Amino acid sequence: MANSDPKAVVDEAKNVLKHNDRGNWTVPAGDLYPHQWLWDSCFIAIGLRHINVERAQTELTSLLRGQWKNGMLPNIIFDPSEAYRQDRELWRSYVSPYSPEHISTSGITQPPMLAEAVVRIGEKLKMPERRSWYVQIYPALLAYHEWLYHDRDPHKEGLIILLHPYESGLDNSPPWISELRKHSMPWWVSMIERLHLDGLINLVRRDNRHVPPGQRMSNIEALAYWAALRRLRRKAYNSEALLSRSLFAVEDLAFNCILIRANSHLRQIAKTIGHIIPDELLARMEKTQKALDQLWDEPSGQYYCRSFISHKIIEEPTIATLLPLYSGNISKERAKRLVEILKSRKYFGVSYPIPSIPVNSSYFDEFKYWQGPSWVNTNWLIIDGLRRYGYENEADLLSQRTLEMVAQNGVSEYFSPLSGKPAGAADFSWTAALTIDLLK
Ligand code: GLC
């Protein structure tokens, strides 16, 4: 697709969503991602609301069918057909007593975008309908936020911890890879790496059948991620059991920024329907707002992820350093510093911003998944954050350049920030949905 006519771009995006529609939910991309993903469906609903509000609502309510009895929302709800038995068996959600009875899911979560999507749909509804929409979703949403604090903030410090890189949504982002290499590399994976046997892993990797290997995580990373998943599964996804032995838990920057914003949406939803959020949860939500500051590193003037185990900042800069803008929770002075980072050569100096990591990072690779390419969802979050702090011109410019990137190169999963060349899966749902949203 090389099109500058907004109507043609919207038509193309609508076609992608239609093609990926499975009735009540949408796959991120048919071949590579044939199931329902948590934050994907939230972004998809944000676009779908402009086309069909009711369908946007089902995109979210269908996510709730996968909710665990302890409140967790899993990052994947599996297609039940026989063809995907292997995918379901990889996770075996049934090993946990909390997993839902008749449906297979993963055993971990993903960034809490649900509250944002609920409110964006709410904006399209008149007050009585909005209220009943909120009433319908609220119990599940509240249970999810309660689970996050109860299960993933064991020391009541305010920052949620993640137990697997997939939970961050930015799967192979450098802080996760460096943490994994330092603390959680099984000896046999290191051995495979040393003996250069990693090529063999191509025989069992499904993703590389759909996308060139250079655009995905490396075989060694994939193997280490699989080992981390197996550890979770062996402990039946019980975080307490895991944390007592594991050296691998991260206070993820992007996740906590999204949570802060989600918490403020949760407050707004509760207020609209006249519900009082339990005091305990409110206190913990407030703590998160203050705790974000602990991820700020004054010497480098950046936000970072932090290791839960060592309590040390993981000094690997990524696009997540800009997401505190989206949280809406930082001072104007701090926001100004982030906007300066955004406008610097290493982020905005490329032809198609914003690269998922700065171009001067030693990890940078224009095509490699979350280690360089530009993604429409992170751009969308940052555009929103810029508007929140009154940077309208910067937001308009980024929005325009994001739309150009899609119009000129297609509705792809991600793009080279240097040339705009599309990479990852073609016909990607959140790229389509958020393009529609940006054009509105
Ligand atoms: C990739 C992305 C993740 C997304 C999933 C489905 O794993 O890293 O964020 O949710 O694909 O699209």
Q: 1 lies in a domain?
A: no
Q: Which atom of ligand 1 lies nearest, measured to the CA of 377?
A: 9
The CATH number of whichever domain residue 165 belongs to comes to 1.50.10.10
Atom number of ligand 1 nearest to Cα 429? 12
184, 228 Cβ separation under 8 angstroms: yes
Indicate whether residue 40 lines ligand 1 (CB < 6 A): yes
pLDDT at 246 over 80: no
pLDDT band at 142 (very low <50, low <70, confident <90, very high): very high
Residue 272 domain-assigned?
Answer: yes
CB 296 near ligand 1, within 6 Å = no
Q: pLDDT of 250-276, one tens digit each?
A: 999 999 999 999 999 999 999 999 999
CA–CA separation, 409 and 376 (whole Å): 12
Atom index in ligand 1 nearest the CA of residue 171 equals 8
Does ligand 1 have an atom closer than 6 angstroms to the CB of 348? no
Report how far residue 126's alpha carbon sits from residue 78's, in angstroms, rounded to the nearest whole number: 34
pLDDT at 355 over 60: yes
Domain count within the chain: 1
Least confident of 40-49, 202-211, 216-225, 375-384: 202-211
CA atoms within 13 A on the CB side of 95: 17
66 occurs within a structural domain = yes
> Residues 98, 68: contact at Cβ < 8 Å?
yes
Work out the percent of the chain whose per-residue pLDDT is above 90.
86
Angle, helices 127-152 vs 279-291, to 10°: value is 70
Is the model's pLDDT at 153 over the cut of 70? yes
Q: How far is the CA of 168 from the centre of ligand 1 (A)?
A: 9
Q: What are phi and psi of 215, to 5 degrees?
A: -105, 5
pLDDT (tens digit per residue) in 366-417: 999 999 999 999 999 999 999 999 999 999 999 999 999 999 999 999 999 9
What pLDDT score was predicted for residue 258? 98
Statement: residue 1 has pLDDT above 60? no
Tokens describing residue 279: 């005091």
Find the mean pLDDT for residues 66-79. 98
How many Å lie between the centroid of ligand 1 and the Cα of residue 206? Answer: 14
Q: Which domain holds residue 127?
A: 6-439
Tens of pLDDT, residue by residue over 274-295, are 999 999 999 999 999 999 999 9
Identify whether 171 is a catalytic site residue. yes
How many CB atoms lie under 10 A from the CB of residue 3? 14
> Rounded to whole angstroms, how far apart are CA atoms 59 and 71?
18
Q: Is the distance from the beta carbon of residue 169 to the nearest atom of ligand 1 less than 6 Å?
A: yes
Residue of 167, 251, 413, 437 marked catalytic:
413
**What residues have CB less than 8 Å from 335, skipping those under 6 apart?**
324, 325, 389, 391
